[in-house]
Amino acid sequence: MSDLAVRIRGLVKAFDGRRVLDGVDLDIRRGEFFVLLGPSGTGKTTLLRVLAGLERPDAGTVLVPDRRTTVYQEPRLVQSRRVLPNVTLGLPRAAREDGRRALAEVGLAGRERAWPATLSGGEAQRVALARALVRDPQLLLLDEPFAALDALTRLQMQQLVAELCARHRPAVVLVTHDVDEAVRLADRVAVLRDGVFAEDRAIDLPRPRDLDDPAFTEHRRAFLTRLGVVSH
C-alpha cells in the first residue's frame, strides 16, 4: 500500500475565468496532519472540495483514498433524524454500535436519541465529528470546523480533534484562517497565494503543544509575516 494519502499534480480550478487553483502540486502522507492556512478567497476551501469530490478539477490529477469523510463549518445534520442515525447515516444497521462508540469518544454518550435541533453549536459539531470518525477515514477533511464556535468551545474542540487524530491516525486536511490553530494541530502547514503554495512548512514541535513555547511563537510570527499581517 502506498505511503501516500493524497497526490495532486498540476491541479487547476477556475471560477468565471479566475484561476483559484493554478497548477497545485501536493503530496500528503498517511497519518499526516496537513493544514491549509490563509484568508478566505485564496482557494483553500476549493482545494478541500476537490479532495472531497464536490468540485471537479479543470485540469490535473487528484488521487485520494476510498474512505474519506468531511466535517464542514456547519454541522449539516439531518434535522429529521436523531443523533445516532445521523452519525450512522448511510451505514448498515450493524454500525450502530460503532456509532455509539464514536459518540462516546466525542463526549456525547447518552445523547443518542436527542434531536439535532436541541443540541448546542458545539454539541452539533461534535456529532458531525463522530459522523466522520465512525467511517474510520483514511482521509479526514475539515473545512473550518471550528470557525462558527465560541472561543472556549473552539479550544476544547481543537484539543478533542488533536486527541482523536493521534489515536486514529487518519491523514487530515484542515482548512483554517487561525494561525494558532494551525501551528497547534499541524504536522505541516501550507499557505496558498495566487493559486499555488507560497509556503509549505513542517511543524516539528513536541505534542501536546505549548502556545508559550518560543518555537511556537516563532512559527506563529513567520506565518503572520507570510500572510502579511505583521511586518518584520
Partner 1 sequence: MTIEKVHPPIAEDTTGLGAPGHLGVRRRPPWLSVTLRASVPALLLAAWWYGSASGVLAPDVLAGPGAVLGALGELAETGQLADYLLASARRALLGVLVGGGLGLLLGVLSGLSALGEELVDPTMQMKRAVPFLALSPLFISWFGVGESFKVVLIAVATAGPMYAYCYLGVRGVDRKVVEAARGFGLRGPRLALGVIIPSALPNILMALRISMAVSLTALIAAEQIGATEGIGYLVTLAQQYYRNDYMVLCVVIYAVLGLVIDLAVRGVERLAMPWRVR
Using CB under 8 A as the criterion, which residues of the chain lie in contact with partner 1 when the complex forms? Answer: 52-54, 69-70, 72, 74, 76-82, 89-91, 115-118, 131, 135
Nearer to partner 1, 127 or 191 (CB): 127
- The packing angle between helices 121-133 and 96-105, to 10°, is 130
Residue 64 C-beta: closest distance to partner 1, Å: 12
Strand partners, 192: 197
Residue 33 C-beta: closest distance to partner 1, Å: 21
Distance, in Å, from the CA atom of 134 to the CA atom of 128, rounded to the nearest integer, reads 10
Give me the sheet containing 196-202, strands edge to edge.
Answer: 68-71, 139-143, 171-176, 33-37, 188-193, 196-202
Residue 140 C-beta: closest distance to partner 1, Å: 12
Nearer to partner 1, 77 or 175 (CB): 77
Nearer to partner 1, 74 or 112 (CB): 74
Residue 139 C-beta: closest distance to partner 1, Å: 12
Residue 188 C-beta: closest distance to partner 1, Å: 24
Residue in 137, 223, 219, 147 with CA at minimum distance from that of residue 172:
137
Nearer to partner 1, 133 or 203 (CB): 133
First to last CA, the chain: 45
Q: All 3 cell numbers of residue 155?
A: 479550544
Distance, in Å, from the CA atom of 107 to the CA atom of 88, rounded to the nearest integer, reads 17
Distance, in Å, from the CA atom of 187 to the CA atom of 145, rounded to the nearest integer, reads 18
Nearer to partner 1, 132 or 191 (CB): 132
Residues 165-201 as b/e (b if ≥16 CB within 10 A, e otherwise) read beeeebbbbbbbbbbbbbbbbbbbbbbbeebeeebeb
Distance, in Å, from the CA atom of 78 to the CA atom of 99, rounded to the nearest integer, reads 16
Residue 115 C-beta: closest distance to partner 1, Å: 5
Nearer to partner 1, 5 or 77 (CB): 77
